[in-house]
Structure 1
């Protein structure tokens, strides 16, 4: 009972219940880490803090290139909770946050970025990003907010939306235009975007992508 009482009481002034059931107040004379149990003062042991393990390294963003050699930033954290400092114990010394830059996208681009030519590659999962090939390296580029990358132009174009709910709650998907086999619709961020298949390709509704062929 004494041990649990000493841990639970955290104020300098202790409120204790005597045998008659009346709450009485005592003050210990040697600071906030001394507690009184009736007529005797007991010292609460200070607990210094200890670091938890570091969390796994996580990417702060994707690689700066698709291929050709680039970098990406990572970070990880730890907390002073193993154990937490209590009863005047000291806080952990050292860093709770670290970051680093590592190499990525080190494979050669090859035919994806022909030497001496400026070409573009659509991003596989994000219509607001694309890759710009220069000096045989495919650099990651970002479209401005409210625009998306159109490989047929190529370049970023204004995001067009429709008033219907075709894309509501559908996530990312592509589906046929309906009247023009060179075109298709893309659901992106809840918006319905009209896009055009590049070059001598058409949209295949069964495969859900542009394929070689004519209408």
Structure 2
């Protein structure tokens, strides 16, 4: 028995396998036909797809000295409908319609504004199948100036201001009154464009107290005070007289500023008889 190295054994096996390969052969065989479809002619709304049958020589593939498949790899042509769902339709505006009548002016005088409108619809065409709405507004507004005539301005009074000096005091003494005239004008604002005039008077009087020199004050008597004690009798017998007095003062009020003194006496006397017994040695008549 020969002994070979591992390398020598491996090389002989490789030569033997290659020899077996050269003796194999596999004829090619067609696969079943299947259609290969092209892209649809449209993405929506119904299009056409064209297709053609295809097969491949891979059932099995030819191998070694095997024969290739006979015939064509292409078969019949065909077509079919595709993407039949409706296409989105974006909305589009119609033409604007006629203007409306002019609206009421925003003011009755002094420059206002009035408006009119015209409309359009999103129906040329209407949005369909998920299409986009029209962009922008469906109303167009036109404006113009109106009622340019000035508005009436009603008159308004100014503040009162003095018109002339204060008058003399109404009395020459004690408390009196001084007067002066105040004046105002219908000028804040003045009436314009048929506005109403100011209501009320344009003048009024203003008063203030004044004091002249001190007035003469005449004196006035106070109430009498209490009587004094009776004096001694003027005689020890034979009808004597006793007197007593009481006083008052000129202080109710005191004369002032040249006023007159009190008239009359400040002392009042009262008398009575006393010791009316007979005197001895005398004849009482």
When normalised by structure 2's length, the TM-score is 0.25
Q: Larger % of strand: which? A: 1
Larger-gyration structure (1/2):
2
